[in-house]
Structure 1
Amino acid sequence: MNATKVLLQIGILSLALFAADVLAEVSAAEAKHLGANLTPMGAERAGNADGSIPPWTPMAKTAAPVDDRGFLGNPYANEKPLFVITAQNVEQYKARLTPGQMALFKRYPDSYRMPVYTSHRGATVPEEVFAAIRRNATQTTLVSDGNGLQDFSSAVPFPLPHNGLEVIWNHITRYRGGSIKRSIIQAMPQQNGSFSPVSLQEQLVFRDRMKDFDPANPGNVLFYFKQEVTAPARLAGSVLLVHETLDQVAEPREAWLYNAGQRRVRRAPQAAYDAPGTAADGLRTSDNLDMFNGAPDRYDWQLVGKQELYIPENSYALDSPSLKYADILQAGHINQDLARYELRRVWHVVATLKPGQRHVYAKRDFYFDEDTWQAAIIDHYDGRGQLWRVAEAHAENYYNNQVPWYAFEVLYDLQAGRYVALGLKNEEARGYQFGVPASTSEFTPAALRQEGVR
């Protein structure tokens, strides 16, 4: 095994790292590493031995100018790639690439490329979120065979993970600003590159950011999510409402769909797992949204360890409002000349479908950025064991709001020769809106019926 695959946090993990049934919180002594040799989020504060991965240095809220529509300036606009990986030289870099990335070079040898830049580790969150993470470290435990959380606060329950389930819960619960509204598009280019964008209005609010949240009675809801299709006309007016739960085994996700044509609200229990994603031509599943979402109960989760990989990071160029969607969306894959990859440490977790469970993905290889707990790359395998789809999240730090998230995410279908890009906002009227006030009454089936207008 390559040495980079065993870069585990010193003094934190033991042989129990590989035991999926370890459900206990960490000790107070272990938690003292947070904010010391580890960042408050649980990443290694130091860089790597040769300096190609730098120490963690929190990004300033004024890292670059933000325009009056909320679009971020690029703090690294003047930087040039250190080198570019192509199909011709990919073999010399394969130790730091996933099988899915290697497959993309093979599938598109004449056009797929990865510009690699100097690494900058600036992702940070507000201090109150760091404080919640410190509390979680010694208090939060897994329940329901690892499919739910107990004594959880705000974000990232397991900054010092002992198993794969704890890592995936860090991704599911990670900080995304607490309360967000966004106007985005989803596009599914044909093999020739032509596309018809689907416009979406989304709102995501975590329970502790609701105006009527009661800390003494937090309930089982993790967050509320609402998604309305606003274009094209044949799809416009459909609205999906989701109540995401902390323990989806004890109390499954609740979902409702407003059908504009029928003008009625109905329950949508199918809006989970491998059900087709909204208006995506069958190119993604419901749980592909946000790279992965929902209950982890259908998989066994093995924590392999840490390694160094080239992953998309600081993707401000791709998020520029000066770009048109046609500048980004091309045949086969996005315009890789606009992409930015950096060398980072990632957690590698393998999810294998449990015996007797059903899902179109029999196995998923997850690679999570250590600084944010966000999934950066996911390789998806079908029931025959063949690599099928490759997901890449082009991440950036919304530094003015201290929110690590994605510029957008891409899911490549290697067999169909197509892909779905979700979350682009370059041509929209404004960027993400954080801190939008909301109450639970806005996320009820009755409210959904009132809002659903074709």
Structure 2
Amino acid sequence: MMFKKTVIAAALAAALAPAFAAVTPEEAKQLGLTLTAVGAEKAASKDGVIPEYTGGLTNGPSIAKGSGMRPDPYAADKPRLQITAKNLQGQDDKLTAGTKELLKRFSTYRVDVYPTRRSVVFPKAIQENTAKNAVNAKTLEGGVGLEGALAGVPFPIPKSGYEVMWNHLLHYKGHAFFTKYDSWNVDSAGTPTLATTGEIWQEFPLADPKRNEAAKQSDVFFRTKLNYLAPARRAGEALMAFDAVNPLVQPRKVWQYLPGQRRVKLAPDVAYDTPNPGSAGASTYDDAWVFNGALDRFEFKLVGKKEMIVPYNAYKLAYHTKPSDVTQANHINPDLLRWETHRVWVVEATLKPGKRHIYSKRTFYIDEDSWAAVASDEYDARGNLYRASFDHMTFSYDVQAPQTGNHMIYDFVSGAYNISGMSGAHGGVKYIDPLKPSEWSSETLAGAGVR
């Protein structure tokens, strides 16, 4: 792997620096000059495959009022390259370990590489706050906690793997949205089974446009509420979770409603490597959105930045209305996938001594333009590739926010896979006003769960 020398130097310096090191005012001046407002490189790649950043997608196709379905702004694009197991050599250095494993295992799998479209652009307030965060935000507790960040990217010029992961956790996704979705499991025999149909509300309190104060350690940055509608065995269940910016000060709070018990109870195990029942155990709770939750069980090392072929602008998949077209044997339908070449930050997470997790190592790939994790590789205790996950990101151009709910994970041991967040059959993703504070109480969770 050939990483840029400047990035390697920065990563080495970061390894010797305190976790809370901030950038200097001189470094921060590069934002908006050689770097975008949120820290991506403006320049094109040397070969021109990654174009110069020119401001993102600011004039997308029109959307029907009240609709959550976004037309594909790049529907006319044709693949510039098609990768299969036969021509993998020469391209494999730009693919994740999981992508290469899929190509090697299945002759029916392929990677259609489209022209790179740097679609992401954030609202002006997010860009302005990011410049302030560059010199004010800092990590605490060895990288596990955070303080001093305004709504925006906390570390646009990251110096550590923890800072990159915080950028992923806090990247702007809008203030609040709602979607009804399906989650499907496909077993090793190729049989698809509906794992969940649910309703999900997600809110990001730090992204409130009226907020002008920096995050305190106990502040909640993410909250979600889910009502499960199907299949019958899960209908009526409900879940609510809050995450704060310092999980050592304020650990994740989760409440769960189970119809058989007719009561709401705290559910502290809905975190880390607890198997997610919605994926029939093919993923852990902290696999959702490629990674979520606290950073305290792994050491996160910044490897560098690399040009890689990753899922991107996947409107065809995200808004597809027929799940049966998607869930093929062994892997999802490659006809519905879109891959592009982008610069990604590579972060290697190694399990800390004395900590427990089913993964001994994880490698994360974080897009430089959106700061969203677009892929990861997971390894077992023996160091073998165990699972691989992908987030088929789209850009919600009407609200200037990346949408990363269309997530899938492959289990290379069992041969099964899961794809979640499929909202096309239910009207897509709708951005909404935040719920009332009373709607985030455990009492309302119980009421919503009754069917």
Q: Deviations over 1:153-183 (max 9, x none)?
A: 1232111100100000100111111111111
Structure 2 CA distance, aligned partners of 1:58 and 1:439?
35
1:27-426 to structure 2, matched below 5 A, reads 27-68=24-65, 69-108=67-106, 110-197=107-194, 198-208=196-206, 215=213, 219-321=218-320, 323-406=321-404, 408-426=406-424
Shift of 1:96: 0.9
SS in structure 1 of the partner of residue 26 of structure 2? helix
Given residue 348 of structure 1, which amino acid in structure 2 is its aligned partner?
V
Given the superposition, is the C-alpha separation of residues 425 and 217 from structure 1 closer, same or farther in structure 2, using an over 3 Å criterion? closer
Q: 1:103-127 CA distances to partner (integer Å, 9 max, x unpaired)?
A: 111221x111000111111211111
User: Deviation at 1:209?
Assistant: 5.4
- Verify the 8 A CA contact 1:184 1:199 in the aligned structure 2: yes
Matched, 1:431 2:413: no
Question: Cα–Cα, structure 1 residues 336 and 447, in superposed 2: closer, same or farther, change >3 Å?
Answer: same
> Please, which runs of 5 or more residues in structure 2 have no aligned partner?
none
Distance, in Å, in 1 between the alignment partners of 2:15 and 2:167 is 17
Q: Structure 1 length as normaliser, TM-score?
A: 0.94
Q: Which runs of 5+ in 1 are unaligned?
A: none
Shift in alpha-carbon separation, 1:211–1:238, aligned structure 2, 3 A: farther
**Structure 1 letter corresponding to 2:174:** G
Contact in 2 for aligned 1:107/1:414 (Cα 8 Å): no
Alpha-carbon distance, 1:9 to partner: 5.6
> Alpha-carbon deviations, 1:52-88, whole Å to 9, x = none?
1101123344322324522111111111111210011
Instruction: Decide whether the 8 Å contact of 2:148 with 2:215 is kept in 1.
Output: no
Please tell me whether the aligned partners of residues 168 and 373 of structure 2 are also in contact (alpha carbons under 8 angstroms): yes
Residue pair 2:11, 2:160 contacting (<8 A) in 1 also: no
CA offsets 1:241-290 (integer angstroms, 9 cap, x no match): 11111111122111110111211000000011001224221111010111
Following superposition, the deviation at residue 21 of structure 1 comes to 3.5
**Aligned residue identity for 1:205:** E
Identical columns (%): 37
Contact 1:210 1:439 in 2 (8 A): no
Higher mean C-alpha deviation, range 372-381 or range 403-412: 403-412
CA–CA distance in structure 2, aligned partners of residues 210 and 136 of structure 1? 16
Structure 2: which amino acid aligns with 1:352? T
**Which residue identity does 1:66 align to in structure 2?**
I
Are 1:16 and 2:10 counterparts?
no
| CA pair 7-102 structure 1, distance change in 2 beyond 3 A | farther
CA contact (8 A) 1:347 1:367 kept: yes
Q: TM-score scaled to structure 2, two decimals?
A: 0.95
Cα distance, 1:14 vs structure 2: 6.6
Query: Whole-Å Cα distance in 1 between the matches of residues 214 and 353 of structure 2?
Result: 39
Deviation larger for 214-223 or 227-236: 214-223
Return closer, same or farther for 1:438/1:285 CA change in 2, 3 Å cut-off: same
Q: Distance in 1 between matches of 2:60 and 2:314?
A: 14
- Is the 8 Å Cα contact of residues 20 and 165 (structure 1) preserved in structure 2? no
Moved more, 174-183 or 219-228: 219-228
Q: Which amino acid aligns with 2:116?
A: S
Cα 1:230/1:324, change in 2 over 3 Å: same
Q: Could you say if the C-alpha distance between residues 273 and 58 of structure 1 is closer, same or farther in structure 2, counting changes exceeding 3 Å?
A: same
Distance 1:295 1:364 in 2: 15
Query: What secondary structure is seen at the aligned counterpart in 2 of 1:185?
Result: strand
Letter in 1 for 2:246: D
Q: CA deviation at 1:216?
A: 8.7
- Report the Cα distance in structure 2 between the residues aligned to 1:148 and 1:324, rounded to whole angstroms: 42
Question: What residue identity is the alignment partner of 1:72?
Answer: R
Residue identity matched to 1:262 = Q
CA RMSD of aligned residues (A): 2.0
Residues 19 and 163 of structure 1 are in contact (CA less than 8 Å); yes or no, is this contact kept in structure 2? no
State how far apart, in whole Å, the 1-side matches of 2:247 and 2:61 are.
40
Read off the aligned partner of 2:97 and give its amino acid letter.
P
For residue 36 of structure 1, report the CA deviation from its aligned partner: 1.0
AA aligned to 1:57 is T
Provide the C-alpha distance between the structure 2 equivalents of 1:37 and 1:450, rounded to a whole number of angstroms. Answer: 52
Distance of 2:144 and 2:56 partners within structure 1? 34
Contact map agreement 2:220 2:244 (CA 8 A) in 1:
yes
Q: Is the Cα–Cα contact under 8 Å of residues 97 and 310 in structure 1 kept in the other structure?
A: yes
Please state how far the C-alpha of 1:194 moved relative to its aligned partner.
Answer: 2.6
Conserved? CA contact 1:311–1:341, under 8 Å: yes
Q: Out of 430-439 and 72-81, give the one that drifted further.
A: 430-439
Shift of 1:214: 9.3
Tell me whether 273-282 or 382-391 shows the greater mean CA deviation: 273-282
Q: 2:424 is paired with a residue of what secondary structure? A: coil
Q: Does 1:443 align with 2:426?
A: no
For the Cα contact (< 8 Å) 2:57–2:121, is it kept in 1?
no
Q: How far did 1:384 drift?
A: 1.1
Amino acid paired to 1:121: R
Q: What stretches of structure 1 move > 6 A for 4+ residues in a row?
A: 210-214
